[in-house]
Structure 1
Amino acid sequence: MSASRVLVTGIGVVAPSGVGAEEHWASLLRGELSVAPVEGFDTSRHSAVLAGQVRGFVPAEHVDERLMVQTDRWSWMSLAAARMALDDAKYDPADHDPYATSVFLSAGSGGNEFGQREIQALWSRGRRAVGAYQSIAWFYAASTGQVSIKHGTKGPSGVVVSEAAGGLDSIGWARRALRRGTSAVLVGGTEAGITPYALTCQATSGRLSGAREPRQGYKPFDIGANGHVPGEGGAVLLLEEADAAERRSAPRVWGEIAGYGATHDAHHHEEIAPDSTQLARAVRIALDDAGVGADQVDLVVADGAGSPELDALELDALGAVFGGRATPVPVTVPQGFTGRMMAGGSSLNVATALLAMRDGFVPAVGNLDRPVPAPGLDLVQGSARRTQVRTALVVARGFGGFNSALVLRAA
Structure 2
Amino acid sequence: MSAADARDAIVRAHHEEWARVVAALTRRFGDLDVAEEAAADAFATAVERWPADGVPPNAGAWLTTTANRKAIDRLRREGKRDEKHKEAQMLRDDDPPEPTGPIDDERLRLIFTCCHPALATETRVALTLRMVGGLTVAEIARSFLVQETAMGQRITRAKSKIKAARIPYRVPSSDDLPARVCAVLAVLFLIFNEGYLATGPDTDPVRPGLTAEAIRLARLIRALLPHDGEAAGLLALMLLIDARRTARVSATGELVTLAEQDRGAWDTALIAEGHRLVRERLRSGEPPGRYQILAAINAVHTSARDVRDTDWSQVVALYDQLVHLDASPIVALNRAIAVAELDGPEVALAAVDRLSDRLAGYHAYHATRADLLRRLGLGRQSRLAYDQAIALAGNTAETAYLTRRRDQLGQAGPGDPRQP
Q: Output the TM-score relative to the length of structure 1.
A: 0.30
Question: Which of the pair has the greater relative contact order for Cα pairs under 8 Å at 6+ separation?
Answer: 1
Q: Output the TM-score relative to the length of structure 2.
A: 0.30
Structure in which a larger fraction of residues adopt strand: 1
Structure in which a larger fraction of residues adopt helix: 2
